[in-house]
A and B are shown apart, each in its own frame.
Chain A
Amino acid sequence: MLTLKRWLAILSILTVIWIITILICLLHGTEPITLSDAIRIFWARLSSGMAGASDVSRSTILLEVRLPRVLLAGLVGGTLAVVGVTLQALLRNPLADPFVIGISSGSALGVVLSLFVGLNVSYWGLSPLPLFGFLGGLMTLFFLYRLSHVHGKVFVQTLLLGGVILNSMLSAVIMFIAYMTDADKVMGIVYWLMGNLGSPDMKALTIVAVYSLIGMAVLFGLGRGLNLLALGDETAVTLGLDAERTKRIAFFASALLTGAVVSISGLISFVGIMVPHVLRILIGPDHRLLLPASVLGGGIFLMTADMMARTLISPTEIPVGVITALCGGPFFLYLLWRGKMKISNA
């Protein structure tokens, strides 16, 4: 049961863990940095804007390489998790996720197409890639919605299956485009598709942050509505919700968020399934708490996964999508296995 006190307490605890995770991730890497070094570097930057001569290289690593990357991981993880929570409520299925139902691939195709036809220029300092990602994701979602929408009802099984099929089709198109592209560009696309947080410049990070924060703010307003939609559209209506309108807003915001993160970090799978599932067990299913908590939880998870990607076989880096898929695949199978056990025991 959710009260304001419990809401504040849980979100405060998660925020503290989130900050500690950022710190740990900042300190670990190919070049280890101690906490006292880090504090000195931050202090130097804050007080004079200058680092001492001996700290220059560490200062660059910490502030210009690691900090943007860790923040990006936090943002991308949080976004994927909050979209997962939303889609799971909308589709009433705990296995839904932007990756599984093909929105991520749709976004990726949007981005790849815009790169292919050479639209990777910036207007007024803004890269249009997140926008193409958004459009690709939105078109995928719209198509799926039309496919599964019959007589005013969404057939969830159709939508899920359609998404899985669409996902492979879109991936095939992306692979085809990658195949047709110059050999030197291919590696870049493939590496990006594997899910990779790179080391973004602050400008790219800011753009994605703006898109994401808008989408998150919209979703946070839908907490009660998603609780009702989890009971079914028809019941939601009799408990005072304009279900169609709420669903449209939620789908739209989900596409915006997915497009934004895919454009910068490629396809990172399973964050949207694992994080919401674990959080539901820990803090319950109330979306007023689950939505903001998943932003923090998803961030904690992906920052940690990315730290592993950077350090496991350092100095070589593993794409973070490989790490999340290797954690997430078995987790997904475990959920299915447990579901099977439940059914056979019933």
Chain B
Amino acid sequence: MPALYALKEVGFRYGLEWVLKGINLTIERGEILGIIGPNGSGKTSLLKILARQQRPVEGDVRFESTSLSAISFRGLAQRVGMVPQEHPVVFPYTVLEVVLMGRYPYLKGWAFESAEDHRIARASMERMGVERFSDRMFSELSGGEKQRVIIARALAQQPQILLLDEPATFLDLHHQSQIYSLLGELNRDEKMTIVVVSHDLNMASQLCRRLLLLKEGRIARLGTPWEVLTEKGIEEVYHCRTLIDSHPTTGKPRLTMVPD
């Protein structure tokens, strides 16, 4: 079977400034890949290219060996769910309406959502613990609540691949750990492939099987958490000193900041 995603010499720029350059990457079915790196290193741009929100300026992106731009938007939306960083919703949509939009890729012609679509939307809302907000205005929720609603919408797409951009940013500790265990569970039980952009290196280390470390739009390191998270590597990319030891319960690398 061909790789899920295969990127070859992908480059992307806004205006004249290259944001990504020379990215070669394959993403396999069933893996959890974490994309890490400092601010402005191109993490979000890379995720947007995978979601087809941005078109690479150069290079080639293949999805199951078909060129990504040759796949229909609907077809891709049935396979790939995306949780973006920001959720600008200006009109008074209710939470349920927002989650039901996750079913749009499956609706045909003029049809309204079926009972089955409603069932799936309810189930994903329950999974994210937002079913009690279902009739509230999306725009009136807190940042963390919005984040969970948007994840519920992505789950309602019933995707095989989930792309997430900083999914835990606005969440408190409880909901952070909930999201990360949910991602682990989706990957383990439903064989969902997960690509997650994160600033939280410790969480990425615990959750991801592979990490991709970006520096100034290029791949600095790619490999297991132990291969990528080294004191020397982190210092090269982030310009700060850290101490890395083994997490007492999981055995994965653990970072501690060391003040200068």
**Contact partners of A89 in chain B: CB under 8 A:** 91
How far, in angstroms, from A94 to B48 measured CA to CA in the complex?
Answer: 27
Which A residues are CB-close (under 8 A) to B105? 239-240
Let me know if A234 and B53 touch, CB within 8 A.
yes
Main secondary structure of the interface of A (DSSP, over half): loop
Q: How many residues of A contact B (CB 8 A)?
A: 32
Q: Give the chain B neighbours of A224 by CB distance below 8 A.
A: 104, 107
Interface size on B, residues (CB 8 A): 39
Decide if B90 touches A238 in the complex (CB within 8 Å).
no
**In the complex, A171 has a CB within 8 A of chain B:** no
Contact B102 A239 (CB under 8 A): yes
Which one, B48, B55, B77, B113, contacts A234 given CB within 8 A?
A: B48
A237 near B53: Cβ-Cβ < 8 Å: yes
* Nearest residue, chain B, Cβ from A232: B88
Contact (Cβ within 8 A) B80 A231: no
The answer to whether B81 and A238 touch across the interface, beta carbons within 8 angstroms, is yes
B101 with A231: CB separation less than 8 A? yes
CB pair B88 A227 closer than 8 Å:
no
Minimum CB–CB distance for B80 against chain A, Å: 7
Given contacts A1-B97, A7-B112, A231-B101, contact A280 B92 (CB under 8 A): yes
Q: Inside 8 A of B51's CB, which chain A residues have their CB?
A: 234, 237-238
Does chain B have a CB within 8 A of A161? no
Inter-chain CA distance A189–B252, complex, in Å, is: 78
Complex contact A1–B100 (CB within 8 A): yes
Query: What sequence of 0s and 1s flags, for each residue 289-300 of chain A, a beta carbon within 8 Å of any chain B beta carbon?
Result: 000000000000
Query: Which residue of the partner chain B has the closest CB to A220?
Result: B110
A242 part of interface (Cβ distance < 8 Å): yes
Contact of A238 with B107 in the complex, beta carbons under 8 Å: no
Which chain B residues border A94 with CB–CB below 8 Å? 90-91
Q: Do residues A239 and B104 form an inter-chain contact, with CB atoms below 8 A?
A: yes
A201 to chain B, nearest CB (A): 36
**In the complex, chain A residues whose CB is within 8 Å of the CB of B81:** 238
CA distance A240 to B102 in the complex (A): 9
Report the minimum CB–CB distance from B245 to chain A (whole Å): 39
Q: Which residues of chain A (213-258) have a CB below 8 Å from chain B?
A: 224, 227-228, 230-232, 234-235, 237-242
Tell me if A3 and B112 are in contact (CB < 8 A): yes
The complex places the Cα of A241 from the Cα of B74 at a distance, in Å, of 7
A151 at the B interface (CB under 8 A): yes
Q: With A and B bound together, what is the CA distance between A153 and B214 in angstroms? A: 25
Chain A nearest Cβ from B137, distance in angstroms: 10
Render B22-65 as a binary contact track against A, CB cut-off 8 A, 1 for contact: 00000000000000000000000000100111110000000000
Q: Which residue of B lies closest to A233 (CB)?
A: B53
> When the two chains form their complex, are residues B14 and A92 in contact, meaning their CB atoms are under 8 A apart?
no
Q: B93 near A285 (CB under 8 angstroms)? A: yes
Q: Are B53 and A230 in contact (CB under 8 A)?
A: no
Complex contact A288–B88 (CB within 8 A)? no
Q: Once bound together, how far apart are the Cα atoms of A224 and B117, in whole Å?
A: 15
Q: Find out whether the CB atom of A92 lies under 8 angstroms from the CB atom of B90.
A: yes
Give a binary string over A131-169; 1 marks a CB under 8 Å from any B CB, 0 the rest: 000000000000000000001100000000000000000
- Shortest 3 CB-CB contacts between residues of A and residues of B: A240-B77, A240-B105, A285-B91
Q: Jot down 27 A-B pairs with beta carbons below 8 A, ordered by A.
A: A1-B94, A1-B96, A1-B100, A2-B97, A88-B91, A92-B88, A92-B90, A93-B90, A152-B55, A227-B104, A230-B89, A231-B98, A234-B48, A237-B51, A237-B52, A238-B52, A238-B82, A239-B102, A239-B104, A240-B73, A240-B74, A240-B77, A280-B91, A281-B92, A284-B92, A284-B97, A286-B97
Query: Which residues does B use to contact A, with CB under 8 Å?
Result: 14-15, 48, 51-55, 73-74, 76-78, 80-82, 84, 86-94, 96-98, 100-102, 104-105, 107, 110, 112-113, 157
New A-B contacts (15) at CB < 8 Å, excluding given A230-B90, A239-B101, A284-B93: A4-B112, A88-B91, A92-B90, A151-B14, A151-B15, A224-B107, A227-B101, A228-B104, A230-B93, A231-B88, A232-B88, A234-B51, A238-B80, A239-B102, A239-B157
